[in-house]
Amino acid sequence: MNNYKTISNYKTTSTNDSFGFVKLYIFAAIIIVIAELIGSFTFNIGPGKIVLLPMIWALLIGAALGLAKNRLPAPLRIETSMQFNAAMILQPALLLFVAKLGLLVGSSLPQIVATGWALVFQEFGHFVGTILFGLPLALLLGIKREAIGATFSVGREPSLAIIGEKYGMDSPEGRGVLAEYLTGTVFGAVFIAIFAGFIASLNIFDPIALAMGSGVGSGSMMAAASGAIAAQQTPEIAKQVMTFAAASNLITTTIGTYFTLFISLPMAVWGYRIMEPILGRRSSSTTQPEEAKVEHVVNHNAALGPTGIICAWVLSAGLAMIGDWIARGSNPIDSIPGMVIVLIAVLVGVLLNHATGKKIPAVCWVSLIAMALTSPICPWADQINVLTGKINFLALITPMLTFAGLSIAKDIPAFRRLGWRIVVVSFAANAGTFLGATLIAQFFKH
């Protein structure tokens, strides 16, 4: 997913694109209605169970439409240009969810502080877990230095920048981190939702420890994982799950770049040097140099204009309220005041991001503003809590993952060229970051 760009940096979209955006929002609305009508579906696997929530249906339906574009009549096609548009809408939609989580965190600050060292040290699990689970598997599968790029982190945009600057994207490490990035973009939310939901169903870990494990540093993956965990809890515990997932994700987002640069990347390099002679196979690298040419997927330069950003915020909010109405029978009219507060928090956070020269990500600003609104320092915290409490956090995930699904098909050609072995390694790294943080959080909680 593209880095978030502030309002002033967005290029105004052409009039010719306007119809494409209208069509995209119409498709998104139809997908959300279908997904919410399908509802949740649960089936057992051994001692655990898999829970497929509406957000997963929305992502899969969107992806299927994109992949089937050449087989559908013109009115039903999600063309490649529309898929890039969906990727642009995804980040503004994500900020609405981030704001809602910030509002939950602010009202739960005493509980978060009471967790003590659990929330602090679980971050080590997020970054070390990817290496412990992913690197040995990569070496056993015969992957060479691509394993370093694929396992030193979950491979979001900061990781691309770190590897690109240190090794170059044409290097084996660069191809490895790109594979991790694309795997997370295409399958990350689906995989982590199913995996986290299954682990939660085993009833081995405390739900709050699982929530901390969900804060992997990717907004969509955190939303998918914590949503799958929260769906199996009581309403009160579900709220705590989303709260601690948001707090963990905020920590991962803010300090993650420094942690990966100074700790996890050197650890991955050291681990490769130690384990490769023992576990490595005599085979060539999994990927080929020409595969680095898929960088255009990451560096796509098109952007929304100011009007496009505002439309994305407002329409995503509207889609969330419609989905909540279908799924839980909530009155959209009653949700409007709370949603306005969410939108204000997003707007202020983006403006502060611009005013500070983008040195602090917009996601962090939005989280901090929302937290302040419901924290003890705000005199209107109780009233804001009541108004925003009428918005279900799961309702805000579905539009976000709908646009993620609609954007997936554009990445499939590049994804196919990266090889199945490094994709398996990427899944192992994603599972490792979740389990590593969960284990540490569980230890400190008990």
What pLDDT is attached to residue 290? Answer: 43
pLDDT over threshold 50, residue 296: no
382 token code pair? 């109780």
- Tens digits of residue pLDDT in 210-247: 999 998 877 778 888 998 999 899 988 998 998 888 88
Neighbours of 261 (CB within 10 A): 18
Stretch 190-195: mean pLDDT? 89
Q: What angle do CA 155, 157, 160 make, to 5 degrees?
A: 65
Structural Rg of the chain based on CA atoms: 21
pLDDT over threshold 60, residue 13: no
Split at pLDDT 50, 70, 90, the class of 45 is confident
Q: What percent of the chain has pLDDT over 70?
A: 85
Split at pLDDT 50, 70, 90, the class of 293 is very low
CA dihedral 110, 113, 116, 121 (to 10 degrees): 140
For the range 74-79, what are the long-range contacts, defined as Cβ-Cβ under 8 Å and sequence gap of 24 or more? 78/24, 78/27, 78/406, 78/409, 79/20
Split at pLDDT 50, 70, 90, the class of 395 is confident
Amino acid at position 305, single letter: G
Check residues 439 and 124 and name the one with the higher pLDDT.
439
85 token code pair? 């548009």
56 token code pair? 């997963």
Asked whether the CA dihedral 322, 328, 333, 337 is positive or negative, the reply is negative
- Tens digits of residue pLDDT in 306-316: 888 999 999 99
Q: How far from the centroid of its chain's Cα atoms is residue 226's Cα? A: 11
pTM of the model: 0.70
> Cα separations (Å) of 292 from 218, 328, 424, 439?
23, 45, 19, 35
pLDDT over threshold 60, residue 413: yes
> Cα(68)–Cα(73) distance, rounded to whole angstroms?
10
CB 216 within 8 A of CB 249: yes
Mean pLDDT, the chain, integer: 82
Q: What angle do CA 55, 57, 60 make, to 5 degrees?
A: 110
DSSP per residue over 80-96, as a string?
A: HHHHHHHHHHHHHHHHH
pLDDT over threshold 60, residue 389: yes
- Tens digits of residue pLDDT in 97-112: 888 878 887 877 777 7
